[in-house]
């Protein structure tokens, strides 16, 4: 069984939002909700400035607080490492939304269940990458099987220094951000 991870090389993100719209179309997401976003942060004073473009989405944590808090078992961990929501079991109590340190969950108002990035589980089953990765103009987003030593993601994680978001909360995210520039492999 693969262990799916996403790796993001922020140096190559041009903030074009192709990922955001691809996700919305692929997953037919209602107005005002997003499963992924690109946050642009600028630091410094004119003319010495630095920018961070940060793609954010569900981290599919190895130790996910949303799963731990879910009273019905709707939020659960699957064998492939992804965190998924069983819509039939979800009662819309929002406990997971409060528990998630990454602010990536929302309530699907039409149907009343919690929702978030699934790593495009339906596409994975077809052998396709998530929609955001497939369309990423800068090839900033990479996706694959961490356990496969030949996959791009495992090579990139082996050969470059990386970080995860909010490591201090102990969630063990499966979305990695590359520190090294230029990136190897």
On whether the CB atoms of residues 162 and 184 are closer than 8 A, the answer is no
Residue 21 lies near another protein (rule: CB under 8 A): yes
What is the four-CA torsion angle of 132, 83, 99, 13, rounded to 10 degrees?
-20
Residue 158 lies near another protein (rule: CB under 8 A): no
Tallying the residues shown for the chain, one arrives at 185
Nearest-approach distance from CB 159 to another protein, in angstroms: 14
Question: Binding pattern to another protein, positions 40-59, x when CB under 8 A?
Answer: --x-xxxx-xxx-x------
On whether the CB atoms of residues 1 and 79 are closer than 8 A, the answer is yes
Nearest-approach distance from CB 72 to another protein, in angstroms: 27
Rounded distance between C-alpha atoms, residue 173 and residue 86, angstroms: 21
Task: List the one residue from 84, 151, 154, 160 that touches another protein (CB under 8 A).
Answer: 151
Q: Which is nearer to another protein, 67 or 178 (CB)?
A: 178
Task: List the one residue from 139, 158, 163, 172 that touches another protein (CB under 8 A).
Answer: 139
On whether the CB atoms of residues 82 and 146 are closer than 8 A, the answer is no
Residue 17 lies near another protein (rule: CB under 8 A): yes
């Amino acid at each position: 069984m693969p262990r799916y991870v996403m790796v993001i090389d922020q140096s190559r993100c041009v903030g074009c939002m192709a990922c955001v719209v691809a996700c919305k179309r692929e997953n037919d997401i209602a107005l005002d909700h997003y499963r992924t976003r690109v946050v642009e942060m600028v630091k410094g004073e004119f003319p010495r400035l630095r920018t961070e473009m940060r793609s954010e989405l569900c981290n599919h944590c190895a130790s996910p607080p949303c799963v731990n808090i879910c009273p019905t078992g709707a939020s659960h961990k699957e064998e492939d490492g992804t965190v998924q929501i069983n819509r039939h079991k979800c009662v819309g109590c929002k406990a997971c939304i409060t528990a998630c340190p990454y602010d990536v969950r929302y309530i699907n108002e039409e149907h009343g269940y919690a929702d978030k990035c699934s790593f495009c589980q339906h596409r994975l089953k077809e052998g396709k990458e998530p929609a955001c990765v497939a369309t990423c103009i800068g090839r900033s987003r990479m996706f694959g099987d961490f356990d496969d030593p030949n996959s791009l993601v495992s090579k990139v994680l082996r050969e470059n220094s990386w970080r995860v978001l909010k490591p201090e909360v102990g969630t063990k995210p499966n979305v990695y951000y590359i520190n090294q520039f230029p990136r190897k492999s």
